[in-house]
Structures are given as C-alpha cells and as structure tokens.
Amino acid sequence: MEKTLEKVRIASVADLPEKMGKTVRVGELELAVFKLGNGTVRAIENRCPHKGGVLAEGIVSGEHVFCPMHDWKICTTDGKVQAPDVGCVSTYKAVIEDGDVYLFI
Ligand code: FES
C-alpha cells in the first residue's frame, strides 16, 4: 500500500538563499533545501552517505551539491552520488505556490 505524503510549508521562496543550502527540520527529518540558480527548489536528506557531512553547507553548482567534507558530488534531483563515488540520499518533492515552498514528506 502506498503511503500518503503530507504537504508541509517550510519557507517562503524569498527566505531561501539562491544557490545555497538551508537546513530545515520537519518532525524527525532533517533536510537540506536548495534554491537553484534557475529558481527551482530541491530538498534532499541532509546527511552525506559517505560520512554524514551536512549537505546544506555544501557548494551548489547547477543541480548538484558538493559535500563540504570530502567533496562528493550529489545530484539534488535524484539524490544520486556522482561517479567515481557511489551512493544516494533520499529526495523530497518540492513545489512553489504563491511564493511559498511546500515539501511532500
Ligand atoms: S562526508 Fe560527504 S564526502 Fe565525505
């Protein structure tokens, strides 16, 4: 059976810094939320699969973020770690409505 996702407002778009991450907590979850250069918003798990680096503090380039600890490159769209490293993080759907950002958790 599919789990129903909850739609949660996390910020207004204007509150998110462009091309930077922001740590957002929703219940027990800690997420890294990014507003990309093209204005879209992405949300991923805030823990690097390598050794737990805080991805919200990473450097954003296009749709990727570089982990601040050892520079693994992670796609904010599908959560996949880019070669030669391997792994992935959970991703969460984000939508913008009337200037507010909502995540489906
Ligand atoms: S903890 Fe992220 S690359 Fe090592």
Digit-coded pLDDT (tens) for 70-81: 999 999 999 999
What is the pLDDT, as a whole number, of residue 10?
96
User: Which CATH number characterizes residue 65's domain?
Assistant: 2.102.10.10
Predicted structure pTM score: 0.94
The answer to whether residue 34 is domain-embedded is yes
**Structural domain count, the chain:** 1
Q: Is the CB of 49 under 6 A from ligand 1?
A: no
Tens of pLDDT, residue by residue over 33-70, are 999 999 999 999 999 999 999 999 999 999 999 999 99
Residue 1 has pLDDT above 80, yes or no: no
Cβ-contact 98, 10 below 8 angstroms: no
Question: How many residues belong to the chain?
Answer: 105
Q: Is the CB of 25 under 6 A from ligand 1?
A: no
Per DSSP, what are the bridge partners of residue 101?
11, 96
d(CA 64, CA 58): 10
The answer to whether residue 49 is domain-embedded is yes
Sign of CA dihedral 9, 82, 57, 50: positive
- Name the residue among 50, 46, 52, 26 with its Cα closest to residue 34: 46
